[in-house]
A and B are shown apart, each in its own frame.
Chain A
Amino acid sequence: MKKEIGNIEEWMGEIPVIGAGEDFYSGVEARINFRLAERQQFRNRVKSAGNILLIALAVALNTITIGLGYRYLQPDQEESVAEAQVLFYDPAQQQVASLLNQER
């Protein structure tokens, strides 16, 4: 026997009365507040990760600068040392100066 779907309107439209009282709205509000808090937390995390990345980048640049300074400066290049003192960032300047002194 072939099945017919003649009753599709009746079957599909057969929706029970689904009650949703005042707690429905408070449920929605609770979800919204939760999602907003989650978003804020995510933003804070991204912000602190960004800060850490910036610090790491600064440290890396500083290290490279020190390394290059050490590699290319000759002990007898007094002028270069003076230049380096102007160019280099404070902690590096200290380190480069002490390294040059040691070499000398």
Chain B
Amino acid sequence: VTDQELIQRLQQGDRQAFRMLVSAYRDRVIRTCYGFVRDEEEARDLAQEVFTEVFLSVKHFRADASLSTWIYRISVNKSLDVIKRRNRKKRFAFLTGTSSMTPAEEYRLSETAGDPSRSLEQKQERDNMLKSLAKLPVNQRIAITLYYTDGLPQAEIASIMNTSVGAVESLLHRGKGNLRRIMNYEL
């Protein structure tokens, strides 16, 4: 089934086509969401929200971009919403004098994610980098996450972010520079 056919069937409310779409894009969407929120449960939850949004708004999809680009766009927007909510919670926690991290973040940082043989220092470096990533301007963060986590080509990232390939290249370059600065500043 081509994307065009799939879109047509989805626009007619065909649930079978929707099931096909979910199974085709599920893992990619979960991965993208995870790249932003770094929490498995939240990523799965977000991915379900993404597909819900896809089903409800596919009628208005005008095929200006490819189906996958559109789905990535929804995934990025939903993930950023979660991050914004998280930051609000953090600010509130800071004001009320409790931890500046959400419980999920504290758990994530304390767990021994990835390779168990990895040294503590490496884990600290990784955590430090992920924390620094959260401090980057939104556009740089989106570009870096889609590029390194999803391995998307710059052209596709440009399409998702509605910008040019040159701009993406520059976002990646500046993003890496800023990341390096933040990590060194916080040492």
Contacts and interface: CB of A to CB of B under 8 A. Distances in A.
A12 B30 contact: no
Contact of A3 (B34, B125, B176): B125
Contact of B180 (A5, A18, A24): A5
Interface size class, chain B: 35 or more
Interface stretch (B2-10, B51-59, B159-167): B51-59
Interface size class, chain A: 20 to 34
B81 interface: no
Contacts of B23: 25
24 contacts: A1-B187, A2-B184, A3-B125, A3-B180, A4-B180, A7-B126, A8-B129, A8-B176, A11-B126, A12-B145, A12-B148, A12-B149, A13-B151, A14-B114, A14-B126, A15-B149, A16-B40, A16-B113, A18-B27, A20-B30, A28-B51, A28-B52, A35-B56, A36-B56
Interface of B: 19, 22-23, 26-27, 30-31, 34-35, 40, 43-44, 47-49, 51-52, 55-56, 113-114, 125-126, 128-130, 144-145, 148-149, 151, 176, 179-180, 183-184, 187
